[in-house]
Structures are given as structure tokens and as C-alpha cells.
A = this chain, B = another copy of it.
Amino acid sequence: MHTALQALSDPHRMAIVSMLADGERPAGDFVDALPIAQPTVSKHLSVLREAGLVTVRKDAQRRLYSLNPAPLAELDAWLARYRRFWTDRLDALEAHLDKEFPQ
């Protein structure tokens, strides 16, 4: 099984997720957009499904994919711990002081 981060670590899967930021899309859209064969795209979609990053809905022969934001929200929460490193000057000062005077 892939974790959300492992799923996102492939550039083609990142591209798929990026396309989904605009909304639901059929699998064929990804086949058209990416320079890889249809079965390869299908496998990437299956990885994204297992990672919980996307959900699917049937529409006749088509499969409409949309984003499931939960894992991204988790990643965002994890990043929160580091946000102080780059946010603003006050935070930078704080980080500096933390480093200079730990505790």
C-alpha cells in the first residue's frame, strides 16, 4: 500500500492531482494529458485510489475521478509544525531565538 506522500512522490501522479484541483475529470483526460500509455495511467489512478487521494464515480463507461482532500489536509497539518520556519519575520526571529537559546 502507498501512503499519501508516496503516492504524491511520482510526478505523473502529482500532475493528475493538480488536474483534479479544478474539479472532477474522466480518466481519459489524464491519458490525453500525460505522455504515458493508458494502462500506465490506470495503474497510477489505482495507486491514488489506494492512497485515498481520489474517489471515483461511474458514468456509463467512464470513470469520473475527483479529489479526496483528507490526506492533503493531513499533510498540511504535518507541515504546520514547520511553517514557523518560513512564514514571517517574527517567526524567523522566533526560530532564530529557539536555536540560539533552546528551551
Chain A interface helix/strand/loop/mixed: helix
Listed A/B pairs (14) with beta-carbon separation below 8 Å: A3-B11, A8-B9, A9-B9, A21-B81, A23-B98, A67-B82, A72-B79, A72-B82, A73-B85, A73-B86, A75-B79, A76-B76, A76-B83, A79-B79
Residue of B nearest to A68 (CB): B85
CB distance from A97 to the nearest CB of B (A): 12
Contacts of A23 in B (CB 8 A): 98-99, 102
Q: Which residues 1-57 in A have Cβ within 8 Å of B in the complex?
A: 3, 5-6, 8-9, 11, 14, 18, 21, 23-24
- Contact for A86 among B6, B18, B72, CB less than 8 A: B72
